[in-house]
Structure 1
């Protein structure tokens, strides 16, 4: 069944339904864009205000010690670790995904003398490819791309690093992490996984897959807020060999010794560079705590059930709408993407109805399913509205064709 009564029955049986009250909601909005920016946890404003008014306003510089600001990158990283199948001392929360990609691509290349090729896939998230190209411009890397189904054949003894996004940002297709990691290791290559569209929504087991490196963002399913700090993972076996290219003072073994010469900190701590972003880390910690409380298995299970329910409703009401994402929920992330030649105005028409999904060039309608706060009723109403406005041609109103700066 794919009617409203069934959606409400599923909500009544949902063990995660009560977590919805832990998030702030504007009236009249159904939010299917948590795969781009997560919702605001109710506790976040109070936590950030405490940091501002008490820890900063009263504690001033003493709060680096008294409020333990100095260890926030390690503390938040250790809380992210179980969400990605890592040990607490293998993850650090710092900087952005782009910066962490640069650090780890450069580090991997330094660990692979005689190899310069970084293999990825065309259509990967742009920053992943741009960071390879930036290192290529410095003469440190050679970019090579192969279609998803041809990656194993493209692995050769010149490949230093395989860099892939676990869940593709546009299609939602999920790579088989264990198989591709092994294939890379079989030819002597290292592997770096971008988990930006995975963490907090699908199950990830980096250590179980013998992964080398990973990065991920804090503002999607972890609900850390716009521009939230990212995180980086380095398998413990690589800690001693890791050479951090951005040798900032916080990555020093003794930053407050103020030595003229750089000595890397032990372990994953050497991935730090500049002073930690305390306000951003405080907000991120709230979202991470909620995800950790729920647990990855429960998040992933609800994600699969919601996306399948949405797919069933859309298939029934819009049988000709082309699904770009895999039909099997076991091989896709927490999203569904559809192709339509008028995807942009359709997306804008949905937003005008209070249903927020997003658009990706050139013709993709993308809907994300954040399991910590979405309901099955939300999903049903969004799919029904999508069908209605397409059937009625509602998207043809001229105001829906005007492009905004951010789409």
Structure 2
């Protein structure tokens, strides 16, 4: 008997019911399927978790407790009695295993942009002045480019944009630091973290990785590959909520020498001494600046409960299965040539999203959302679908492809 979970050969178009049976079989065999119940979901097919993750059920309960009890009753005492003061490092330790780091090396707070600035300038401060170039992924998320350009001006360096695949070859004696996105936000292309890191190190420079589109979606293994600095947001695959604080991860041997360009009272070795001169704290606390955003930070802490007992390898396996299945469904449901995938077919080069090119992508996405399938649009012509393995099902995936077929047809005939 044929395996209903097996991929469809490239030139084969399955008959009626085959995709339904395959989706049902894949969902039944999914070891993560019970995690879906931990989220607040409705009948919408939500494929935009790579922009904002769904709400974990534990968060509203926890926030109500924080507001009513910790803020409302304990008030200022909660900084010590409720553990608010140590929350940036405590929550960082919960994120650490999801990105392959160790305890005491990840701090949560501020935005990705602010943490990126800290990491870039801190990295440049560790190299000689004759290393005068900052390499940056030419297709980077715009803010990363803006921050890198500002860091270059402030440190007297030159910004050199290079395609991510060319950074390894471009790194040399003039490289002060390289900034690379682990996953391209438009196409979902997964870049070679081990190879690029090794090449930049061989050139004598540190590297900063932006993990916004990989943290919580696939194994990152910062320590295994000796990554110097990494930053990432927590409101995508980590489901921390809108504007949730970001994280900064430092390699163990980078902590003691990290010279943050934003030394605040929260990163002081003795914050309440109110000293005129800054003495950096030890450990990950060196990456702090000002007073932590406690409500968002503790919402993130509660959101991370969904990861308890989850194997990030299983998340990656399901992510690839979901994206493979979506591509198969699109190929089966839509006429050839209707859309073009710009996401690599190669698993080693794919994140947890599929980006499809269509000439009227903006209109198509608007109509998809109105029809109950939520992805997003990236100019000029990209339909972007993020697959979050903790709550996306294979049935969702098939429904999305079938809705896409209908909407594309309606758009063409309008």
Does TM, normalized by the shorter one, top 0.5? yes
Which residue of structure 2 lines up, in the alignment, with residue 133 of structure 1? 149
Distance 1:148 1:305, change over 3 A: same
Q: Distance in 2 between matches of 1:394 and 1:71?
A: 56
2:374 aligns to what? 356
**Alignment pair present for 1:334 and 2:349:** no
Structure 1 residue corresponding to 2:306, chosen from 275, 290, 296:
290
1:334-382, Cα deviation, whole Å (9 max, x unpaired): 0000111111100001001010000011111000000011111000000
User: Residue 11 of structure 1 corresponds to which residue in structure 2?
Assistant: 27
CA contact (8 A) 2:109 2:247 kept: yes
Check conservation: 1:336, 1:367, Cα contact below 8 A: yes
Range with greater deviation from structure 2 (147-156 or 177-186): 147-156
Shift of 1:220: 0.2
1:293–1:394 distance in 2 versus 1, CA, 3 Å:
farther
- Aligned match for 1:365, one of 383, 386, 398: 383
Q: Is the 8 A contact 2:137 2:181 kept in 1?
A: no
**CA positional deviation for 1:395:** 8.3
Structure 1 unaligned segments of length 5 or more: list them.
397-407
Q: Which of 347, 350, 356 matches 2:365?
A: 347
Matching of residues 64-79 of structure 1 within 5 Å: 64-79=79-94
Using the alignment, how far apart are the partners of 2:228 and 2:283 within structure 1?
14
Q: Name the CA distance, whole Å, in 1 between partners of 2:206 and 2:413.
A: 47
Structure 2 segments unaligned to the other structure (5+ residues): 5-17
What is the Cα deviation at residue 317 of structure 1?
2.2
Is the aligned partner of 1:219 residue 2:235? Answer: yes
SS of corresponding position for 2:377: strand
Q: Structure 1 residues 395 and 220 mapped into 2: Cα distance closer, same or farther (>3 Å)?
A: farther
Looking at structure 2, the residues matched to 140 and 216 of structure 1 have their Cα atoms a distance apart, in angstroms, of 26
Aligned partner (choices 45, 48, 67) of residue 60 of structure 2: 45
Secondary structure, aligned partner of 1:150: helix
Aligned to 1:92: 107
Aligned-pair Cα RMSD in Å: 1.3
State whether structure 2 residue 165 is matched by structure 1 residue 149: yes
Contact 2:187/2:355 (CA < 8 Å) preserved in 1? Answer: yes
Partners of 1:103 and 1:85 lie apart in 2 by 21
Q: Deviations over 1:175-198 (max 9, x none)?
A: 111111010011101000000000
2:341 to 323, 330, 335: 323
Q: How many angstroms apart in 1 are the aligned matches of 2:349 and 2:277?
A: 48
What is the TM-score when the length of structure 1 is the normalising length?
0.95
Native 8 Å contact 2:121 2:155 kept in 1: no
Answer whether contact 2:55 2:239 (CA < 8 A) is retained: yes
Q: Given that residues 164 and 180 in structure 2 are in contact (C-alpha distance below 8 angstroms), is that contact kept between their aligned partners in structure 1?
A: no
Q: How does 1:110-189 map to 2 (within 5 A)?
A: 110-114=125-129, 115-189=131-205
SS of the aligned residue for 1:214 comes to strand
Aligned pairs for 1:247-286 within 5 A: 247-286=263-302
Matched-pair contact (CA < 8 Å) for 2:50–2:388: yes
Aligned partners of 1:83 and 1:292 also within 8 Å = no
Moved more, 133-142 or 259-268: 133-142
Q: Deviations over 1:7-49 (max 9, x none)?
A: 11211111111111111023x3110000000000111001011
- 1:394 Cα shift? 6.4
**What SS does structure 1 have at the residue aligned with 2:242?**
coil
Distance 2:413 2:257 in 1: 55
Secondary structure, counterpart of 2:322 in structure 1:
helix
In structure 1, C-alpha distance between the alignment counterparts of 2:89 and 2:413, rounded to whole Å: 47
**Deviation for aligned residue 1:3:** 1.3
Residue 405 of structure 1: aligned partner = none
Post-superposition offset of 1:268: 1.8
Worse-superposed segment, 148-157 or 352-361: 148-157
Count residues with an aligned counterpart: 395
1:239 aligns with 2:248: no
**1:282-326: per-residue Cα shift (whole Å, max 9, x none)?**
111122221243221111111111111001111222331211000
| Alignment partner, residue 24 of structure 1 | 40
